[in-house]
């Protein structure tokens, strides 16, 4: 079996030799940014938008990305080609780079770029098909004037703690509230509700990441004649929604059927969610919505 090839700082290395220093501040402090990207049938979905978001995240944390956007795109495509992949999950990472055991980022003279192309399975297929069980976690999303989740950083402890709670109570996923009590998102997904024929999703200022798949779903919904509102959502609205579903690069579209013991809708994927699940693959694999890696 051919060994997986990984890009690190200008070199394509076999997985067994793809290593980073234990002094890298991405490892020591979660100091870096990343993107999760999908490829469908030889087309990398919304690659340019993912790269734009990566550079925006880097700018916010004052992380110098050591290559131009065009070079970053070539590195992603090159990694796909060297692994002979047409369908894949891609992890694009920029770390602060090698420093010392101190916190000061000035000790890191050069950041590192890593590209991994492979596969990912977040939830069992049966759970997604039948709808997933969720809980509103006690862990609140970090405030936007703290480690804002508009930045897709390497520090995911906030999400890890919520995922641990979901695991402990036998749920498939957790849902975050922000410090004011409004619904934010899942541990790694955006969230939508359907109520009286309208789709509603939380805005970034309540603590949600501006999702690439979230935006794509809004576009698909509009083509399907579904009006979309971007506004704060309360837990009360969540419990009483006709449908609830997650969206994300890795999760794609996952119907939610139970939240903290409350059955959502009829306890199975709703009609809009099922239509969206059916329509989205063709939209995502359309070359017009991606960048060729063949």
DSSP 8-state symbol, 146: S
Residues assigned a catalytic role: 152
Contact indicator for 180, 53 with CB cutoff of 8 Å: no
Residue with tokens 């030889």: 42
92-107: average pLDDT: 97
* Measured torsion, CA atoms of residues 205, 277, 44, 151, in degrees rounded to the nearest 10: 20
Indicate whether 122 pLDDT > 70: no
Q: Above 80 in pLDDT, residue 124?
A: no
Express each pLDDT in 68-77 by its tens digit: 999 999 999 9
Q: How many CB atoms lie within 10 A of CB 14?
A: 11
Which tokens hold the place of 16?
């067994």
Three-state DSSP class for residue 150: coil
In whole angstroms, give the CA distance from residue 66 to residue 113: 8
Q: What is the mean pLDDT of the chain?
A: 94
Q: pLDDT value at position 243?
A: 97
The secondary element (H helix, E strand) that includes residue 247 is strand 243-248
Cα–Cα nearest to 270, from 251, 242, 247: 242
Q: What is the pLDDT of residue 251?
A: 82
Other beta carbons within 10 Å of 151: 18
Q: Maximum CA pair distance of the chain?
A: 56
pLDDT tens-digit profile of 82-99? 999 999 999 999 999 999
Of the pLDDT bands very low, low, confident and very high (cuts 50, 70, 90), residue 11 is very high
Residue 132 CA to residue 195 CA, distance in Å, equals 19
Q: How far apart are the first and last CA of the chain?
A: 21
Provide the pLDDT confidence category of residue 285 given band limits of 50, 70 and 90: confident
* Cα 180 to the center of its chain, rounded Å: 23
Pairing of strands 132-136, 173-177: parallel
Indicate the pTM of the whole model: 0.93
Domains of the chain, first to last: 5-120 (3.30.470.10), 125-285 (3.20.10.10)
Beta bridge partners of 195: 198
Of the candidate ranges 26-30, 123-127, 277-281, the one whose mean pLDDT is the lowest: 123-127
Please report which confidence band the pLDDT of residue 60 belongs to, taking 50, 70 and 90 as the band edges: very high
pLDDT of amino acid 62:
97
CB 249 within 8 A of CB 216: no
Tell me the average pLDDT across 176-197: 96
Residue 271 has pLDDT above 70, yes or no: yes
- Could you report the per-residue pLDDT of 243-269, keeping only the tens digit for each? 999 999 988 899 999 999 999 999 999
Residue 80 pLDDT class (50, 70, 90 cuts): very high
User: Per-residue pLDDT tens for 214-225?
Assistant: 999 999 999 889
Distance CA 55, CA 73 (A): 12
Short-list 228, 183, 225, 227, CA closest to 208: 183
CB atoms < 10 A from the CB of 232, how many? 17
19, 113, 139, 172, 205 from 123: Cα distances, Å: 28, 28, 21, 7, 28
Confidence label for 1 from pLDDT (cuts 50, 70 and 90) = low
Q: Which DSSP state fits 139?
A: S
DSSP, residue by residue, 210-244: --HHHHHHHHHHHHTT-EEEE----HHHHHT-SEE
What is the percent of the chain where pLDDT is above 90?
83
């Amino acid at each position: 079996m051919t060994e997986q090839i990984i890009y690190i700082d200008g070199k394509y290395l076999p997985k067994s030799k793809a290593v980073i220093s234990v002094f890298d501040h991405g490892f020591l402090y979660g100091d870096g940014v990343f993107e999760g990207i999908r490829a469908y049938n030889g087309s990398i979905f919304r690659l340019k938008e993912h790269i734009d978001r990566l550079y925006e995240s880097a700018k916010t944390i004052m992380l110098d990305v050591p290559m131009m956007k065009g070079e970053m795109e070539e590195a992603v495509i090159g990694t796909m080609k060297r692994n002979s992949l047409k369908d894949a999950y891609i992890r694009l990472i920029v770390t602060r780079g090698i420093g010392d055991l101190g916190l000061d980022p000035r000790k890191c003279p050069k950041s590192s770029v890593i590209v991994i192309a492979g596969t990912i399975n977040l939830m069992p297929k049966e759970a997604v098909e039948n709808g997933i069980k969720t809980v509103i976690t006690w862990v609140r999303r970090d405030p936007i004037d703290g480690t804002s989740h508009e930045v897709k950083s390497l520090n995911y402890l906030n999400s890890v703690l919520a995922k641990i709670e979901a695991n402990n109570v036998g749920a498939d996923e957790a849902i975050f509230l922000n410090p004011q009590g409004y619904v934010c998102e899942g541990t790694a997904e955006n969230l939508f509700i359907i109520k009286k024929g309208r789709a509603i999703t939380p805005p970034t200022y309540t603590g949600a990441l501006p999702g690439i798949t979230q935006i794509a779903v809004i576009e698909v919904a509009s083509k399907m004649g579904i009006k979309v509102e971007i506004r704060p959502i309360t837990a009360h609205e969540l419990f009483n929604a006709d449908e609830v579903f997650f969206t994300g690069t890795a999760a794609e579209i996952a119907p939610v059927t139970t939240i903290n013991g409350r059955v959502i809708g009829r306890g199975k994927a709703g009609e809009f969610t099922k239509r969206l699940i059916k329509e989205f693959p063709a939209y995502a694999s359309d070359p017009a919505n991606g960048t060729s890696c063949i």
